């Protein structure tokens, strides 16, 4: 019969992969397993937190993917038997596969942050998955009195979307400047340096002079535990009790990856970058945030590019053809205020067990006229429209 490919996770990686599989080889039986009937996208969710956008603009359904001929099952995958090549779903039913693709995104590594767990996230939202958490953080900002402190706890890398905490700090400062100008943003950081740091710091000085303070790793900024009862954030340097605590915990691959045996002791999934096949489990491919991608930042643009390249590799493997070397491109936009954006574009190719950056990348200049920043902010919106239309539209 026709070869069967099951894709777990209908986010940027999995949805792109399922669609590309079906489009390039119509005889494949492609099944997409995703518990949510509506996907809520993280890119641009920082704008929702800052009141610049509504959550509905982040939400997408699976109807178009289903009408492409992908069978979409609204269930969570709960178990995987790699020997029998079988996936068990939450309702107890099961699916057999010839090839399995995992794109479950991230899970939170609560053991890495004492005091923080699912219950704590209802008080100290992470807003690192989009939806209720995004809205909770927004409501907390709206309810805060002028003069309050908003703390953002930033984990070490690897984590989902390395620039996003700083974009968030910027957009929260934008909201506070307009609505609660005596307030401050305090970034408690488990890193010394971060991506596009000079561009961010220049923008902060230009737009939000003095409103954003950052305590780096060397300055004792790493958050070591939290106490949700008193809204206290404990760092290597001291304790803070901010009015709003946005605690972004350390992360690892979505739980199903570990259940499948595809995650190593780092919590992430080593792959062969030529095919995205797991180094630990044959016939299981891992894409998106969950995989150890090396030089590729964990982003929606990377997950989408990986999804398409993985689909291509699987079609070749099933047909008995040699894999083609994937060449991935990704671009990350940061919007620090309306009409003020900058970006980082990169190209990546397999090198040993990871992807390495190759030439052709570009970053926005440190000195640029306002028109350039405005154009990049508009490019960012266009990027979002394009990627979501290609994935879900």
The residues binding ligand FAD (CB under 6 A) are 8-14, 33-36, 39, 42-43, 45-46, 76-77, 103-105, 128, 160-161, 164, 254, 256, 288-290, 298-301, 303, 332-333
Cβ closer to ligand FAD: 219 or 279?
A: 279
Cβ closer to ligand FAD: 12 or 208?
A: 12
Closest distance of CB 213 from ligand FAD, Å: 20
Picking from 334, 341, 331, 337, the residue whose alpha carbon sits closest to that of residue 368 is 341
Provide the phi-psi class of 127: left if phi over 0, else alpha when psi is between -120 and 50, else beta: left
Closest chain position to ligand FAD (CB): 11
For tokens 């390395």, the residue is 162
Burial of 16 (0-12, 13-18, 19+ CB in 10 A): buried
Closest distance of CB 153 from ligand FAD, Å: 14
d(CA 288, CA 307) in angstroms, rounded, equals 7
Closest distance of CB 302 from ligand FAD, Å: 7
Cβ closer to ligand FAD: 104 or 346?
A: 104
Residues in the chain: 393
Cβ closer to ligand FAD: 208 or 384?
A: 384
Closest distance of CB 196 from ligand FAD, Å: 12
Cβ closer to ligand FAD: 9 or 350?
A: 9
For tokens 């595809």, the residue is 262
Cβ closer to ligand FAD: 218 or 329?
A: 329
Cβ closer to ligand FAD: 121 or 299?
A: 299
Cβ closer to ligand FAD: 9 or 125?
A: 9
Per the structure block, which two tokens stand in for 54? 């509504």
Closest distance of CB 296 from ligand FAD, Å: 10
Closest distance of CB 371 from ligand FAD, Å: 22
Closest distance of CB 238 from ligand FAD, Å: 27
Closest distance of CB 208 from ligand FAD, Å: 19
| Cβ pair 343, 366 in contact under 8 A | no
Closest distance of CB 356 from ligand FAD, Å: 19
State how far Cα 89 lies from the chain centre: 24
Per the structure block, which two tokens stand in for 272? 């062969």
Cβ closer to ligand FAD: 333 or 342?
A: 333
Closest distance of CB 171 from ligand FAD, Å: 10
Cβ closer to ligand FAD: 172 or 215?
A: 172
């Amino acid at each position: 019969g026709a070869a069967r490919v099951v894709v777990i996770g209908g986010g940027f990686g999995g949805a792109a992969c399922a669609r590309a599989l079906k489009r390039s080889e119509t005889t494949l039986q492609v099944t997409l397993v995703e518990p949510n009937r509506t996907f809520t996208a993280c890119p641009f969710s920082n704008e929702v937190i800052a009141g610049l956008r509504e959550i509905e603009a982040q939400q997408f359904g699976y109807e178009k993917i289903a009408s492409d001929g992908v069978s979409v099952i609204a269930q969570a995958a709960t178990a995987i038997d790699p020997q029998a090549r079988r996936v068990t779903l939450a309702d107890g039913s099961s699916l057999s596969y010839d090839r399995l693709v995992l794109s479950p995104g991230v899970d939170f590594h609560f053991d890495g942050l004492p005091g923080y767990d699912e219950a704590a996230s209802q008080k100290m939202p992470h807003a690192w998955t989009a939806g209720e958490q995004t809205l909770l953080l927004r409501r907390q900002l709206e309810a805060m009195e002028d003069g309050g402190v908003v703390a953002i706890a930033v984990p070490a890398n690897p984590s989902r979307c390395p620039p996003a905490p700083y974009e968030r700090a910027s957009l929260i400062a934008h909201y506070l400047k307009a609505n609660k100008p005596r307030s401050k943003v305090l970034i408690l950081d488990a890193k010394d340096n971060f991506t596009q740091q000079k561009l961010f710091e220049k923008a902060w000085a230009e737009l939000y002079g003095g409103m954003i303070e950052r305590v780096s790793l060397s300055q004792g900024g790493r958050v070591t535990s939290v106490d949700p009862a008193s809204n206290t954030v404990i760092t290597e340097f001291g304790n803070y009790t901010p009015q709003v605590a946005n605690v972004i915990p350390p992360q690892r691959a979505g739980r199903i990856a570990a259940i499948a045996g595809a995650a190593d002791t780092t919590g992430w999934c080593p792959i062969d970058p030529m095919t995205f096949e797991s180094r630990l489990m044959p016939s299981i491919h891992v894409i998106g945030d969950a995989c150890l991608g090396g030089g590729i930042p964990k982003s929606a643009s990377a997950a989408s590019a990986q999804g398409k390249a993985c689909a291509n590799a699987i079609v070749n493997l099933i047909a008995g053809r040699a894999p083609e070397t994937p060449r991935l491109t990704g671009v990350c936009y940061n919007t620090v205020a309306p009409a003020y954006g900058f970006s980082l574009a990169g190209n990546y190719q397999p090198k040993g067990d990871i992807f390495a950056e190759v030439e052709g990348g570009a970053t926005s200049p440190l000195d640029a006229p306002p028109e350039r920043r405005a154009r990049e902010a508009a490019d960012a919106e266009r990027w979002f429209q394009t990627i979501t239309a290609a994935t879900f539209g």
